[in-house]
Amino acid sequence: ELTDTLLPGFDADIQAALRKSLEKRGVAIHTGASVTGIEPGGETLVTYSQGGAERHAACDAVICAAGRRPRTGDIGLGEAGIQTERGFIRTDAAMRTGVPGIYAAGDITGGPQLAHAATAQALAAVADIAGDRNIQRFCAIPACVYTSPEIASVGLTEAAARQRFGDVAV
């Protein structure tokens, strides 16, 4: 994992429970690590950088789950007057871009890249187009990770809630 935590965006206690479960089954977990090379063979050798040092790990299989990024650089958004940030289309809470009549929803907006989040964003855009000015609040988005044990959450993490509201009940 490139970040310093096993599951960025999930509560620390959930991450700890997953780590314990995986390590109990013999899974070696490397955080703060970046893969720099893969040599396939009878036993695949992965080279990675961690803490400034080059390291190696032998494995049977490699899963690449490196995330997603927008591919908007050459589709004329700037010429259309649509602003982007790190390639994502900037929108307001009603999913309006800076150009009247043009809306954006889903992965391209840089929010949670989840189908149900995209659906909620699209519904917010349609409601705005229809004249409903009730702004959607995307603060209770569910998320899940298909692991064993399975993991699910909704809303803010405890750390994010404490940062935003101070003392909170858990």
- Summarize pLDDT for 64-105 with one digit per residue, the tens: 777 778 888 889 999 999 999 999 999 998 999 999 999 999
Q: Which two tokens stand for residue 125?
A: 């855009």
52 three-state secondary structure: coil
Rounded Cα distance between 34 and 43, Å, is: 20
Spell 30-44 as b/e; 16+ CB within 10 A means b: eeebeeeeeeeeeee
pLDDT at residue 156, as a whole number = 87
pLDDT at residue 113, as a whole number = 84
pLDDT at residue 45, as a whole number = 92
pLDDT at residue 135, as a whole number = 74
* Residue matched to tokens 């206690």: 13
Positions in the chain short of pLDDT 70: none
Q: Are 63 and 45 in contact (CB under 8 A)?
A: no
pLDDT at residue 142, as a whole number = 84
Q: What angle do CA 84, 1, 12 make, to 5 degrees?
A: 95
pLDDT at residue 101, as a whole number = 95
